[in-house]
Amino acid sequence: MNYEFTEILETIRMTEIEHFDIRTVTLGISLRDCHDRSIEVTKQKIYDKIVRYGREHVKNAKEVEAQYGISIANKRVSVTPISIPFDSFKMEDFIEIAKTLDKAAEEIGIDYIAGFSALVQKGMTNGERELIKAIPYALSQTKRVCSSVNIGSTKAGINIDAVNMMAESIKLTAELTKDKDSIGCAKLVVFANAVEDNPFVAGAFHGVTEPEIVLNVGISGPGVVLEAIKEAGNVDLQQLAEVIKKTIFKITRAGELIGRKVAEKNGVPFGIVDISLAPTPAEGDSIADILKAMGVEDVGAPGTTAALAMLNDSVKKAGLMASSSVGGMSGAFIPVSEDMGMIRAVQAGNLSLEKLEAMTAVCSVGLDMIAIPGDTAASTIAGIIADEAAIGIINDKTTAVRIIPAFGKKVGDMVDYGGLLGLAPIMEVRTISSKGFVGRGGRIPAPMRSLTN
Amino acid sequence: MNFTESDIRRITFETISELGPIATPDVVKEAVRKKVETSSTNPFEASKKDAVSGRVILTSFGLNKPGIVAAITTALGKANCDIQDLSQKIMGDFFTMIMIIDITSSQKDLKEIQEEMYKTAEPLNIKIYLQHEDVFRYMHRI
């Protein structure tokens, strides 16, 4: 036989028992040719284009799932940052465009469409300002639309004016969706150094340097890594890194295969594999559990950041060896609400916002899916965003804030969204004020790239 | 296939540049009409022929009992699948069997064979997975 008995059983075990799945296949569609002076014509063009390219997306992905026996958790679509092609429109028009995206997403049978976005790290055009104003209304009046705004980059610094606007946007979104535990905020990401080919919703968008259409894949397999670490037993850290790399290598290879096949079926070019470890609320599919298996008593214990750094680095090394198309975020995600281990660590009082922030300096993304008290001041949220963006621009990495000031909730309460978004305990935020700093406005200059100490 | 306004516009521009100096409104109109009738802007239709074929790995396991191999091979034989390799182990009360089968000459495609095997597995109270060989090749071979 060409394959060893154990190899075949290993694959079966990964897919059937350890929750190895392809987290998302995301079809990136350019909307740059959809602009028209008339908003009605524009809406029709957007709708037609998404439906034309996306119609078979879900069906094709399902066929590939069956063929290889690896499930694809999400089939999604990302589009050109809406502020770019439609810069001439006003706030009301942008809300209409969001509704059109929502309708197109429903028509092709996907749960989220991302790209209601603006890139304002250096400054804002009129259209971008209008789009940011529209975000809270767009997110509260649609179900499937996700929004992201890039407010900083290593090359441009941090646009604190935009940070302040986003903090207000987040607060208003929370209020407008208060009936559903402020769920609108779960669909809104504030980025620094956003990447253009990220397949992971809510932060996905189809960058302006991307082709007309492309298919990107995000893989996910915390459960597989967890089992491999448990099986390795009491080995030293070099050997442990080896175990992680071997596992990630295999799942990246599978991810690339699935991505290429879905792209082939769709008749579109294949873009990248994002080799992120993304948890789900399912038991065992948790980054926190991996960190605990590596040896820390709970997430938040001293040593957690080092363990996470090693995990993240091993993931990247193995992924790069396994595929020549690595892109996107490519690292470990630590969203609180989507990871049962993280939730427990917060509830036990072991994991604070500050420790999470430190952890984001060494892993993918940032303060993700964190619920905070609804009465947190906008300036405090702006401070949190600025801190996180600073980590990003200084370390030349992507960071993001997806924070939920849950309307009317206090520390100790829970918000529960069900499904992949999971549930989150409200975390404590320091109440000392950031107002004097972020209130100055303006832009934090771009950092220097030498003397990096 | 429904063409949008922008598709037609694109095709028209392409046609004009293809025709070069001989482009007159009538010639262009005729050429565009032909193109719209024959071509398809739908990117999916070209790849429809990709019916799944080739080698598939069948993995089955469950509590051991008589007749499992017989049931599986009978179903495969009926579907005209060629068994190229077979390996079986008993561990305690459990049996595991892995087969490499070629479904190229089968009148059924992978999806139908999978459904067939799920039906076979159910009364025997075992699990049967069918996965295309590529996934194993990608994961375990560099």
pLDDT digits (tens, 9 = 90+) for A401-435: 999 999 999 999 999 998 888 999 999 999 999 99
Distance in angstroms (rounded) separating the CA atoms of residues A325 and A130? 36
Residue A449 backbone zone (phi > 0: left; psi -120 to 50: alpha; other: beta)? alpha
Q: How confident is the model at residue B53 (pLDDT cuts 50, 70, 90)?
A: low
Neighbouring CB atoms inside 10 A of B50's CB total 13
Averaged pLDDT for residues A86-90:
96
Residue B109 near residue B68 (C-beta atoms within 8 A): no
Is residue A2 scored above 80 in pLDDT? Answer: no
CA-closest candidate to residue B86, choices B58, B120, B109, B67: B58
User: Does residue B41 carry a pLDDT above 80?
Assistant: no
In a shared domain, residues B32 and B71: no
* Res B12: pLDDT: 84
Tell which wins on pLDDT, B46 or A294.
A294
Q: State whether B15 and B80 are in the same domain.
A: no
Q: How many residues does chain B have?
A: 142
Q: Which residues pair with A372 in a beta bridge?
A: A405
Are residues B112 and B73 part of one domain?
yes
What are A444's strand-pairing partners? A158
pLDDT for residue A19:
82
Name the maximum alpha-carbon separation found in chain B. Answer: 82
Chain B contact for A11, CB < 8 A? yes
| Chain Cα centroid distance, residue B41 | 23
The CATH number of the structural domain formed by A217-444 is: 3.20.70.20
User: What is the tens place of the pLDDT at every residue in A106-160?
Assistant: 999 999 999 999 999 999 999 999 999 999 999 999 999 999 999 999 999 999 9
**Percent of chain A having pLDDT more than 70?**
100
Q: Are residues B132 and B79 in the same domain?
A: yes
B49 pLDDT more than 50: no
How far apart CA A71 and CA A251 sit, in angstroms, is: 13
Per-residue pLDDT at A161 exceeds 80: yes
**Chain B residues in contact with A250 (beta carbon < 8 A):** 139-140
State the DSSP code for A447: P
Q: What is the pLDDT of residue B42?
A: 47
d(CA B20, nearest CA chain A) in Å:
25
Name the β-bridge partners of B85.
B100
Give the residue numbers spanning the domain of B26. Answer: 5-47
Residues A100 and A119: their CA atoms lie apart, in Å, by 21
Query: CB-CB: which of B59, B132, B134 is closest to A12?
Result: B59
Q: Please tell me the distance from the alpha carbon of residue B16 to that of residue A56, in angstroms, as a whole number.
A: 32
Q: Which residue stretches of A206-286 are H helix?
A: 222-232, 237-266
Contact A58, A102 (CB under 8 A): no
Query: Which pLDDT score is estimated for B44?
Result: 45
Over residues B116-130, the mean pLDDT reads 92
The SS3 of residue A367 is strand
- DSSP secondary structure code for residue A281 in this structure: S
Q: Model confidence over A59-81: pLDDT tens digits?
A: 999 999 999 999 999 999 999 99
* pLDDT number for residue A413: 94
Q: Does residue B61 sit in the same domain as residue B105?
A: yes
Angle between helix A353-360 and helix A304-322 axes, rounded to 10 deg: 30
Average pLDDT over residues A96-110: 97
| Top-level class of domain A23-192 | alpha beta
Mean pLDDT of A198-223: 94
What are φ and ψ of residue A154, in 5° steps? -60, -30
The answer to whether A304 and A332 have CB atoms below 8 angstroms apart is no
Is B64 in the same domain as B124?
A: yes
Rounded to the nearest 5 percent, the helix, strand and coil shares of chain B are 50, 25, 25
A113, containing H or E segment: strand A113-119
Q: How far apart are CA A35 and CA A43, in angstroms?
A: 9
What domain count does chain B have? Answer: 2
What is the mean predicted confidence (pLDDT) over A203-223? 94
Nearest CA in chain A to B4: A48
Q: Reply yes or no on whether the pLDDT at B50 is more than 70.
A: no
Report cis status (omega within 30 of 0) of the bond before A202: yes
Distance from CA of A326 to the nearest CA of B (A): 16
What does the DSSP assignment read for B15-63? HHHHHGGG--HHHHHHHHHHHHHH----TTGGGTT----SEEEEEEEEE
**Strand, helix or coil at A408?**
coil
Contacts of B52 in chain A (CB under 8 A): 67
CB A133 within 8 A of CB A91: yes
**In this structure, are B61 and B21 located in the same domain?**
no
Cα–Cα distance for residue pair A60/B140, rounded to 1 Å:
25
Structural tokens at position A217 = 């894949």
| Burial letters B70-85, b for 16+ CB under 10 A, else e | ebbeebbeebebeeee
**Predicted-complex ipTM score:** 0.81
| CA of B62 vs chain A CAs: smallest distance (Å) | 13
Q: Are residues B32 and B60 both part of a single domain?
A: no
* Residue contact B44–A49, C-beta within 8 A: no
State whether B114 and A66 contact (CB < 8 Å).
Answer: yes
**B11 and B64 share one domain:** no
Tell if the CB–CB gap between A68 and B132 is shorter than 8 Å.
yes
**Residues contacting A308, CB < 8 A, separation 6+:** A287, A291, A332, A334, A359, A362, A363
Backbone angles phi, psi at A157, to 5 degrees: 90, -160
Q: Residue B39: which pLDDT band, with cuts at 50, 70 and 90? A: low
Angstrom CA distances, A439 to A161, A162, A191, A436, stand at: 9, 12, 20, 5
> Residue B33: which residues within 8 A CB-CB, separation 6 or more?
none
- Output the pLDDT for position B46: 40
* Least trusted range by pLDDT, from A231-235, A432-436, B31-35: B31-35
B104 vs B55: CA distance, rounded Å? 8
How many beta carbons lie within 10 A of that of residue A136, not counting itself?
A: 24
- Whether A399 contacts A192, CB under 8 Å: yes
Q: Per-residue pLDDT tens for A183-210?
A: 999 999 999 999 999 999 999 999 999 9
Distance CA(A297)–CA(A304), nearest Å, equals 9
* pLDDT number for residue A365: 83
* Extents of the domains making up chain A: 23-192, 217-444
With 0-12 / 13-18 / 19 or more C-beta atoms within 10 angstroms meaning exposed / middle / buried, residue B90 is exposed
Same-domain check for residues B61 and B103:
yes
Counting one residue from chain A and one from chain B, the pairs whose CB atoms sit within 8 A come to: 96
- DSSP 8-state assignment for residue A100: H
What pLDDT, on a 0 to 100 scale, did the predictor assign at position B81?
92
* A154 close to A193: Cβ distance less than 8 angstroms: yes
Segment (H or E) for A390: helix A378-395
Q: Which residues of A touch B131 (CB under 8 A)?
A: 11, 67-70
Do B120 and B64 lie in one domain? The reply is yes
Flag if B46 and A63 touch (Cβ within 8 Å): no
Same-domain status, B17 and B68:
no
Percent of all residues in chain B with a pLDDT value above 90, rounded to a whole number: 43
Q: pLDDT digit string (tens) for A346-365? A: 999 999 999 999 999 999 88
> Could you tell me the pLDDT band of residue B45, with boundaries at 50, 70 and 90?
very low
CATH number of the domain enclosing B75: 3.30.70.260
